[in-house]
Amino acid sequence: MIYDSTLKWDAIYDVIVVGFGGAGAGAARFAADQKAKVLLIDSAPEGQEGGNTRYAGGAFAWSDNFDDLRDYYKQTYYPFKYDPKALDTFVNNVLQMKEYSQKYFGIDAQYTGRRPQGEYPEYDHAATMRSQTMTAGMYNGGFWKLLRKKVYERLDQIDVWFSSPAEHLIQDPASKTILGVQIKRHGIVQNVAAKNGVVLSCGGFENNQDMVQTFLGQGSLAPIGTLYNKGKGIDLAVEAGARLWHMSNYDSHGFSLNEGKPREKFAYMINWQSLFNGSIFVAGDDGTRYYREDEEDRHGYKYNHGNWIMLPNQNHPHIVMDQKQYDQLANDSSDKAEQIKQLISYAVKADSIEELAEKISAPKLAEAVADFNFQVTETKRDMVLNRKIETMRAFGNGPYYAIAIRHNILHTHGGARRNEKCEVLDMENNVIPHLYEAGELGDIFATKYIGANSIADLLISGKIAGENAAWPKRKMAEVDVVTNASENPDLKSDAHATSADYEAGANQGIGISENGINDAPIVVRVTLDDNKIAKIETLQEKETPSLGGKAIPVLTKKMLSAQTTDVDAVSGASTTSAAFKEAVNEAIKNAKKQ
């Protein structure tokens, strides 16, 4: 969007960060630490922000040898081109990640022990990259909450707008400087100026089927992260004249159950060793095998004649097995047993292979089963995909089963090309003034994504982009702001951190608990009448609607009836129940202070 003199500004900040995921949280936090007044926006509603970081394990890369680590990355890039300065900056920062976690989070990072020989042990110096973590456990939301907390500790410097997607960047026609962002908030378009910089940290495009087909050449991929990454950062970058890079690069975790939903279950199915062990294989659209079932997942990259590539996905693949395999899985006792039992509950059953082939529209399935059996009993070697023969058992008697699955997608890496300062570059590789980028949108990974590197990148690029965006630039022309937050409620921050952010009258107290299922705290207001609980109001909660959301009204009724918070938790919502009790107890305590 080109700026002209008729445009009126509704608000002005030093820095605007577009996207409240891990990188955006870091960019806002570090910009605020440079004394910048920051606006942090996200298209998701409160409680669903966080991007893919919300679903990430939280492990980040670390090494102690610059030359070895750089050489390892260069091997994984080959034969793709890379930016030497950007790579060197990243490697230098990876070497400092232990100090980073201590300095900026007060946590001593611990070695995870995952992939001790590297994700690509075939390459030189693969073991030099080791993954670290700042949180206990993985894939439990702990890492995201850690980053989010640092934003909420700075709400005096950071305003947060949820459900507020960026519509356009506002750009000076002559200098190409990015002057601000046009934002749709509460259904109203707001023009917000940024004196020093705009940071694009709005993730990838895995939920935009047009972009997936155009840039990835894939027809059917199931997102396993956020549903809000729809490629808006690509549109904004193109609008500003940016050069794109790494548009074909993405990573995945093999297969997910296909229920036809926007997000699918079981993101790590290919790593369930007890699943692909026996008379079972993955069938493509025509019923033939195309996927080595026992190969360790490398974020979707599969061995292919000396290289590792992302296989073209099939449109309706299936897991196929016989009765013996079905019984084996039904009695599985591995750590994935519960999930495996859920998985096989979706199986389609048929008395013969021919009947099963017809049911799943796989005309060559009988041929594939015959070939599978021949290799097990005659050649005693998988001549098609080199699966370990000890994991293969010939198909026996029926009935037979098929489970519909989908190739999934974790996230994309394409976006605007950025330099080592996280400045966005135009088509001539010149810097677009005041425009920065952080996180998986346009990151430096050209191909063969390596685990723990997106987390390292969001920490590193978030800091670099935030600090550089906050750096005072030459003065903009006088900005005439139509309104400000004190005059227009639509411009006020959505984020609240303390009980002081909520109104409490006589005999009332505010209570907050951050220990619910969601990272948005549960906030309640309790009214006392002669030391009795007269009223319990829930001012904020973003718990799971089907569980915690239904539990809170039940608990409220119980507490008012019993005149105590010591009531039974609601079945299936123990975490929400405990957090709600905690908030009510705090509110009662604060009300008694009145």
- CATH number for region 499-592: 3.90.1010.20
**Residue 501: pLDDT band with limits 50, 70, 90:** confident
Q: What percent of the chain has pLDDT over 90?
A: 81
- Between these two residues, 540 and 44, which has the higher pLDDT value? 44
What is the structure's pLDDT at 516? 84
What is the structure's pLDDT at 589? 92
User: Do 549 and 556 meet the contact criterion of CB atoms below 8 Å apart?
Assistant: no
Q: Give yes or no for residue 417 having a pLDDT over 90.
A: yes
Q: Three-state SS for 88? A: helix
Which residues lie closer than 8 Å to 486 by C-beta, 6 or more apart?
A: none
pLDDT in tens, 189-236: 999 999 999 999 999 999 999 999 999 999 879 998 899 999 999 999
Q: Give yes or no for residue 475 having a pLDDT over 70.
A: no
What is the structure's pLDDT at 487? 62
pLDDT in tens, 293-304: 999 889 999 999
Q: Which two tokens stand for residue 217?
A: 């050449």
Average pLDDT, the chain: 93
Q: Is the peptide bond before 262 cis (omega within 30 degrees of 0)?
A: no
Q: Give yes or no for residue 479 having a pLDDT over 70.
A: no
Mean pLDDT check: name the lowest of 88-92, 151-155, 375-379, 572-576: 572-576
Q: Give yes or no for residue 305 having a pLDDT over 70.
A: yes
Integer Cα distance of 537 and 575 in angstroms: 19
Q: Is 593 exposed, middle or buried (0-12, 13-18, 19+ CB in 10 A)?
A: exposed
Query: How crowded is residue 36: how many other Cβ atoms within 10 Å of its Cβ?
Result: 24
pTM for this prediction: 0.89
Mean pLDDT check: name the lowest of 14-23, 73-82, 136-145: 136-145
Q: Give yes or no for residue 312 having a pLDDT over 70.
A: yes
**Residue 499: pLDDT band with limits 50, 70, 90:** low
Cα 144–chain centre separation: 9
CA dihedral 179, 185, 190, 191 (to 10 degrees): 0
What is the structure's pLDDT at 548? 75
pLDDT in tens, 317-329: 999 999 999 999 9
Q: Give yes or no for residue 36 having a pLDDT over 60.
A: yes
Integer Cα distance of 195 and 203 in angstroms: 24
What is the structure's pLDDT at 352? 98
What is the structure's pLDDT at 114? 87
Integer Cα distance of 286 and 523 in angstroms: 54
What's the CATH class of domain 256-407?
Answer: alpha beta
Average pLDDT over residues 572-591: 91
What is the structure's pLDDT at 497? 72
Q: How far apart are the first and last CA of the chain?
A: 52
pLDDT in tens, 243-278: 999 999 999 998 999 998 888 888 778 778 899 999
What is the structure's pLDDT at 484? 57
Integer Cα distance of 254 and 260 in angstroms: 17
Q: Give yes or no for residue 500 having a pLDDT over 80.
A: no
What is the structure's pLDDT at 302? 92
Mean pLDDT check: name the lowest of 35-44, 266-275, 355-364, 398-407: 266-275
Query: How crowded is residue 230: how many other Cβ atoms within 10 Å of its Cβ?
Result: 21
What is the structure's pLDDT at 554? 94
Strands (DSSP E) found in 25-65: 38-41, 60-62
Average pLDDT over residues 149-163: 97
What is the structure's pLDDT at 482? 62
Q: Give yes or no for residue 486 having a pLDDT over 90.
A: no
- CATH number for region 11-48+81-93+143-250+411-485: 3.50.50.60
pLDDT in tens, 561-571: 999 999 999 98
Highest mean pLDDT (candidates 4-8, 240-244, 261-265): 240-244
Integer Cα distance of 98 and 109 in angstroms: 6
pLDDT in tens, 275-291: 999 999 999 999 999 99
What is the structure's pLDDT at 485? 56
Average pLDDT over residues 164-170: 98
Cα 432–chain centre separation: 27
What is the structure's pLDDT at 144? 95
Integer Cα distance of 54 and 226 in angstroms: 8
Q: Give yes or no for residue 490 having a pLDDT over 90.
A: no
Q: Where are the domains of the chain?
A: 11-48+81-93+143-250+411-485, 256-407, 499-592
Length of the chain (residues): 594
Query: How crowded is residue 186: how many other Cβ atoms within 10 Å of its Cβ?
Result: 11
Q: Give yes or no for residue 143 having a pLDDT over 90.
A: yes
